[in-house]
Structure 1
Amino acid sequence: MLTVNRADYARLLRLAYLVLDDGDAPLARARRAAARAARGRPGGYPAKRARLVGVLLTEPPAGWSPLHRVLFEPAPPPRGPVREALSELPPHERLACLLRLDGLTVPEVAAELGPHRPTDFRDVERATAAVDARTGLDEAAQRAEIEAFDPDLVRLRPPSVRPAWRAAVAAAVAVALLAVAGSVLTRAEEGAGGPAAVDPGAWRKTPAPSINEWPAQGGLRHDAALLRRAAEAWRDHHRHPPVGRVFLLYAGTVDGASLVVLRDTPGARDAPSMAQYFERRLSRGVESVRRLGNGTGQLIMLGMTWRYLVPPWLQDVRAAVPEGRAPDWTPLPVRDGLTGPLPWTWFTPRCQNYVVFRMIFRPAAGGTVRAVTQLASHDPWSAAPRVWFPDRPEPEERFRWAALHAVACEGAATLSESGDLRLGRLWSGELPDGGGRATLLTVDASSQWAAPGSAVLISEGGKALSERGRTNSDTTSSAASMAAALWWRSPRRWHLVAAAGPNVRRLKTVGELDSREEDTAGKDEALLLLVPGPRTGGRLPERAHLPVVHVVAYENDGDRTVVSPW
């Protein structure tokens, strides 16, 4: 029994290490996570692995001091092609790939991750395809590299009993290392070249201020030595150094730490990146770098402080968890560009760890005052997409809240990697076979040109009634010319559901399904095409066995586009 437990622990440790294969003290953090999973409730390796997945996806990483890293955490061995490819993925996608290599099927991986992070089959397949493309290795070769890796060999353990002279040498080395670390951490100057600062009044001179006019804020914005250390640390970042000139957004003291927020200037074609530099007792460095969705001003999460940086033209900030039938808005005070902290209990595995912010965009130079909606996470590495609704007039609050709930909590979009979102309503009505009332919601990323969007059927409360379909947003930027198609499953059969905006006069199916079409002749309601698919009978068929079908959308001006339900 002891041998089996050790074997299980070794597999758990390897899985945890490969997920945590960057940042501070990955081996120590992996041992802690593996130990928690191994000593849980009774069960074999699959049960322990499921507990480990929960630990890795839900528990915040423990902090480790520089002394711990120097004395107890050695440098990892050179990475093979699979480890190198995994390191380019976010931790949850690494975990999906590793579970596949551990013998789970794609549906089993989605089910394993689902309780902690919304995941469907395509998320798993996309992550594994990324590793396949980067390595050029098949699954057997990838598994061989992973199984040959032993994290415990990374560290050479000292003998339990050491002679006195060895202990004295070790103590002397430790004192020397501490002296060197202390001199590094207390050095005032770390090179020249601090960040530039924007004219504090620049944002007041334009009706559409953006990050280019975001003024420097915070009580430490005049600390030249701190700003130089922060700028140099970002320039020395081994994975995400800045592009172009570096500008200061914020410098202040937050929860006992000195924090500097910087952004770069990559040019008009690329969105800028934002870096967060912290100085704490015994530690300092750039803790996160994230590319912004676009160059406009938006909320910025500050580390794990539960606070957000706000540009001066966004006012009356309110926040709510995207759950329930209606929003429960909480006003957030803003002082010197920094909000008060949100309750940490808001950030749980539900709703992808995102909350909804509503603000008023109020420029000083005569621009249009309007409400701004944004989704933001507690993770400074994750995207913070703004959300807008292209319908005119503005849709009612009930639909807006249901759409936000569907996006954040029902898997209608993967927020951590999305650009700004455009949420639209193509159709609302009753579904056949007693399916009840539903809305066809379109979800399109505005910052990703030539990228198809997705569509999903939702209930009036925002519950997802189908998996994602496709829209034609890669070929149209007009909501009136939007078309979408998806599969919906009733208790008796599958149905192909397609809908389109007012500039589309006809929808037609082509492919393995019976050819059907609908047009707008003599109709005032939204254009809807509903085609019965295969019966489910006593057993529901897999999506992979559904008919291959496309929907052709004919626009009023003669153009046409093709939409697939996948």
Structure 2
Amino acid sequence: MLNVAPPQDILSRPTPIGIEQAEAALVEHYPRLTRLAYLVLPPSLGRNRRVLTAHALVQRSLPRKHGGAEAAIPAPRRGDPGYGFVRRQVVRQALEAGLPLRRRAWPKRAQLPPVLPQVWGLRLFPRSGGADELALDQRLSALSGPARAAFVLRGLDRLSDAEVRRELDAVGVENPEQALEDAGDPGDGATLLQAAEFDPCSLQARPTDLMRRRQHLRAALVAAAALAVCGTLLGLPGDGWGPDGAAAPPYARNPAAEAALDPARVVRVDAAVWRTSARTDFSVWPARGSLTGDTALLRRALAVWARPGRSVQVSATPGTPSGPPMGAPQLLYAGRVDRASVVLFYDGLRVARYAEPVDGTSGAALDFARVDGADAASAGALVVGRTDGNVRYLTAPWVREAAVRDLLDPAAAPRPLPRDRDGVTSPLVSPAQARDCTSWDVLQLRDDSAGRLLTDLGELAPARLTWGPPDAPRDITGTTAREAWARTACLLPTVRSQGVRAVNAWQFARQPLPEANGTAAWLCTRADTWSGTDNRVLAQFQAPGAGKATAGAVAARAENSAACGTHQPRVLAGVLWKSRGGHWYVLAAGSEDLTRVAVSGGVDASERGHLLAVRTQEGARAQLDGRLADGTRVTALR
């Protein structure tokens, strides 16, 4: 006769969880698990230690063996059993980390600083949020550890009170009912738990105390030197030094280092190479300038590049290494620009600019910019000098004509920009150094193709400006493109000094406004960097009736996003807009491949197509959601 267990016994019976199942759940849900750990950990640890501890707790939450008592848990009523097991381990350890240390008891592993991961010389913390995220963080700080865990399980994993009570009881909380009562209803906080403020996988880095680090480093170096001397003396055979082993003799000669410092070995490209070369980038620029034969100047420039002194002002765009060249670099320019002697080098990855006063070497400067992967469009010019708010460019040998165009005046004709025989332009006002945005002068270059626009963003390599869809950006030539850029130019300071290679603006939608208020334009502006990472994306709403040079309203912004790029040529954004009649609306627009747009939160509505306009109240907060024809979800840019 078979004994059939009652249904309730089946539900509560422990279910073995294999290490493979738990490991798969950990890998799949790693961002959510680290976020959960970060939120449950006591805020008194500080954001840097909470980040590292959250990663450490998740990474050591796997079962220690296949099956067995340690890997058996009551199966959750819904969801993945593997995820439920790992989540329970994470919550247990996060609560243990908040327990006070006791004198007569060994500390638990979670109470100690994590051995791994470790980051030296940097403090890591999530990106800062707004006032709502700050208020939620203060609310969590006021809760006890169990109450904080109940709040997070309710809001982040959407568990019912019974499920939260069962989870808290399983991890050893003495009074789960009290924890639930103290946590309260998450309400709007449930959505804020998904914010970047609480994401330990999306981090910012800042240095630790640099002065203290330098003092500790000096002390460590002195101690290491003393230890090395003592150890060497103890190891002497009596009347001389021991064998050098694999180490090179003192003052060994390094051919690559010598070539990098020898002006005679600097690479000089012939003036006609670019005409027949298969490549059209900085590697085919000829050596130009009146000082290309000044051996002393080149020697100083190479020496400073290899070993910049304390008085040298060194700068490098983000993602650009500032170390010495691996071998002899290519000489692009050496000459006098305004009141300075300037040398430009190229080593295949970077452009290095050395500048010193004509009457001495005090106040020398060394600048680096990453330019690998350049083409004819992005290798059209380099900044060769800056003086009194003006900038001079050295143009590529294939440039036939240079001019200046004011982006804020789309109807104005370009102004001719003279160049000397070496290709150095006359000075023009640099928008990167202007304090206001009354004009935005850009460099217009012409070769065999249409005119290209380059703008100074405070770096050696100017950024190219383009217009059109992400898969086919083109030069800014038409009236529509110029008028759209006239209302976009004043947003360029947000990407200044970020190593930007190109900025593309794309009109992804036009929307008729309610109450016959005209037609608005939606633009997505994407700044791509030379490093390929740390890109910036802006979605802007350009209302009708504003002046041609009035900047559009930024509806959303994102960093390191694929939106509006070749890999993800779609976008969705929204704004809260007030009509001339005084009524408020939620407006949303997406790229044309969206088939439905929905809004929820303060107002619930949806519309077919890629546009939405819904009446609402001032100050309403809403969430946007879009769908493609195949059902793929598209979230709003943020």
TM range (shorter): 0.5 to 0.7
Are 2:368 and 1:289 aligned?
yes
Are 2:534 and 1:453 aligned?
no
Are 2:379 and 1:307 aligned?
no
Are 2:444 and 1:358 aligned?
yes
Secondary structure of the 1:327 match is coil
Task: Flag the 1:207–1:433 CA change in 2: closer, same or farther, 3 A.
Answer: farther
Unmatched segments (≥5 aa) in structure 1: 1-83, 87-124, 146-189, 267-271, 363-368, 521-526
Are 2:454 and 1:384 aligned?
no
Q: What is the aligned partner in structure 2 of residue 252 from structure 1?
A: 335
Q: How large is the RMSD of aligned CA atoms in angstroms? A: 4.0
Q: What is the aligned partner in structure 2 of residue 37 from structure 1?
A: none
Secondary structure of the 2:501 match is coil
Contact residue 540 and residue 555 of structure 2 kept, 8 A: yes
Aligned residues: 360
Greater shift in the superposed pair: 279-288 or 389-398? 389-398
- What is the CA deviation profile of residues 453-486 of structure 1, one whole-angstrom value per residue up to 9, with x for unaligned ones? 2210125614234224258960664499422313
Distance in 2 (alpha carbons) for counterparts of 1:453 and 1:332? 32
Contact residue 426 and residue 442 of structure 1 kept, 8 A: yes
Are 2:437 and 1:372 aligned?
no
Task: Flag the 1:386–1:345 CA change in 2: closer, same or farther, 3 A.
Answer: closer
Distance in 2 (alpha carbons) for counterparts of 1:470 and 1:481? 16
Q: How does 1:296-335 map to 2 (within 5 A)?
A: 296=375, 297-305=379-387, 306-335=391-420
2:306 partner letter: R
Contact residue 343 and residue 354 of structure 2 kept, 8 A: yes
1:552 to 613, 626, 637: 626
2:612 to 529, 532, 535: 529
Distance in 2 (alpha carbons) for counterparts of 1:372 and 1:262? 24
Distance in 2 (alpha carbons) for counterparts of 1:311 and 1:217? 11
Distance in 2 (alpha carbons) for counterparts of 1:528 and 1:442? 15
Q: What is the aligned partner in structure 1 of residue 69 from structure 2?
A: none
2:286 to 168, 191, 215: 215
Distance in 2 (alpha carbons) for counterparts of 1:435 and 1:382? 44
Percent of residue pairs bearing the same amino acid type? 22
Contact residue 398 and residue 447 of structure 2 kept, 8 A: yes
Contact residue 627 and residue 634 of structure 2 kept, 8 A: yes
Q: How does 1:367-446 map to 2 (within 5 A)?
A: 369-377=449-457, 379=458, 381=459, 384-391=462-469, 397-410=478-491, 413-417=494-498, 418-432=500-514, 435-446=517-528
Contact residue 508 and residue 515 of structure 1 kept, 8 A: no
1:495 to 578, 586, 589: 586
Q: What is the aligned partner in structure 1 of residue 305 from structure 2?
A: 234
Task: Flag the 1:356–1:437 CA change in 2: closer, same or farther, 3 A.
Answer: farther
Q: From the CA coordinates, give the structure whose radius of gyration is larger.
A: 2
Task: Flag the 1:420–1:244 CA change in 2: closer, same or farther, 3 A.
Answer: farther
Distance in 2 (alpha carbons) for counterparts of 1:388 and 1:216? 29
Distance in 2 (alpha carbons) for counterparts of 1:559 and 1:224? 66
2:395 partner letter: V
Q: Residue 218 of structure 1: CA displacement?
A: 1.1
Q: What is the aligned partner in structure 2 of residue 192 from structure 1?
A: 262
Q: What is the aligned partner in structure 1 of residue 427 from structure 2?
A: 341
Secondary structure of the 1:456 match is strand
Q: How does 1:161-176 map to 2 (within 5 A)?
A: none
- What is the CA deviation profile of residues 127-182 of structure 1, one whole-angstrom value per residue up to 9, with x for unaligned ones? xxx99742579xxxx9xx9xxxxxxxxxxxxxxxxxxxxxxxxxxxxxxxxxxxxx
Q: How does 1:4-83 map to 2 (within 5 A)?
A: none
Task: Flag the 1:339–1:383 CA change in 2: closer, same or farther, 3 A.
Answer: closer
Are 2:543 and 1:463 aligned?
no
Are 2:276 and 1:205 aligned?
yes
Task: Flag the 1:467–1:475 CA change in 2: closer, same or farther, 3 A.
Answer: closer
TM-score, scaled to structure 2? 0.49
Unmatched segments (≥5 aa) in structure 2: 1-120, 124-196, 213-259, 315-321
- What is the CA deviation profile of residues 353-377 of structure 1, one whole-angstrom value per residue up to 9, with x for unaligned ones? 8521221233xxxxxx233111125
Secondary structure of the 1:198 match is coil
Contact residue 537 and residue 563 of structure 2 kept, 8 A: no
Secondary structure of the 1:416 match is coil
Are 2:393 and 1:277 aligned?
no
1:496 partner letter: L
Q: Residue 235 of structure 1: CA displacement?
A: 1.7
2:510 partner letter: S
Q: How does 1:146-185 map to 2 (within 5 A)?
A: none
Secondary structure of the 1:314 match is coil
Q: What is the aligned partner in structure 2 of residue 484 from structure 1?
A: 572
1:390 partner letter: G
2:537 partner letter: G
2:596 to 482, 501, 507: 507
Task: Flag the 1:254–1:492 CA change in 2: closer, same or farther, 3 A.
Answer: same
Q: Residue 446 of structure 1: CA displacement?
A: 3.5
Contact residue 443 and residue 453 of structure 1 kept, 8 A: yes
Contact residue 466 and residue 488 of structure 1 kept, 8 A: no
Distance in 1 (alpha carbons) for counterparts of 2:370 and 2:473? 33
Task: Flag the 1:397–1:224 CA change in 2: closer, same or farther, 3 A.
Answer: same
Q: Residue 292 of structure 1: CA displacement?
A: 4.1
Contact residue 299 and residue 308 of structure 1 kept, 8 A: yes
- What is the CA deviation profile of residues 42-91 of structure 1, one whole-angstrom value per residue up to 9, with x for unaligned ones? xxxxxxxxxxxxxxxxxxxxxxxxxxxxxxxxxxxxxxxxxx999xxxxx
Q: Residue 508 of structure 1: CA displacement?
A: 2.8
Contact residue 563 and residue 571 of structure 2 kept, 8 A: no
Q: Residue 424 of structure 1: CA displacement?
A: 0.9
- What is the CA deviation profile of residues 406-453 of structure 1, one whole-angstrom value per residue up to 9, with x for unaligned ones? 332246852432331111111234333565432111111244458462
Distance in 2 (alpha carbons) for counterparts of 1:514 and 1:412? 34
Q: Residue 345 of structure 1: CA displacement?
A: 10
Q: What is the aligned partner in structure 2 of residue 156 from structure 1?
A: none
TM-score, scaled to structure 1? 0.54
Q: Residue 232 of structure 1: CA displacement?
A: 1.6
Contact residue 122 and residue 208 of structure 2 kept, 8 A: no
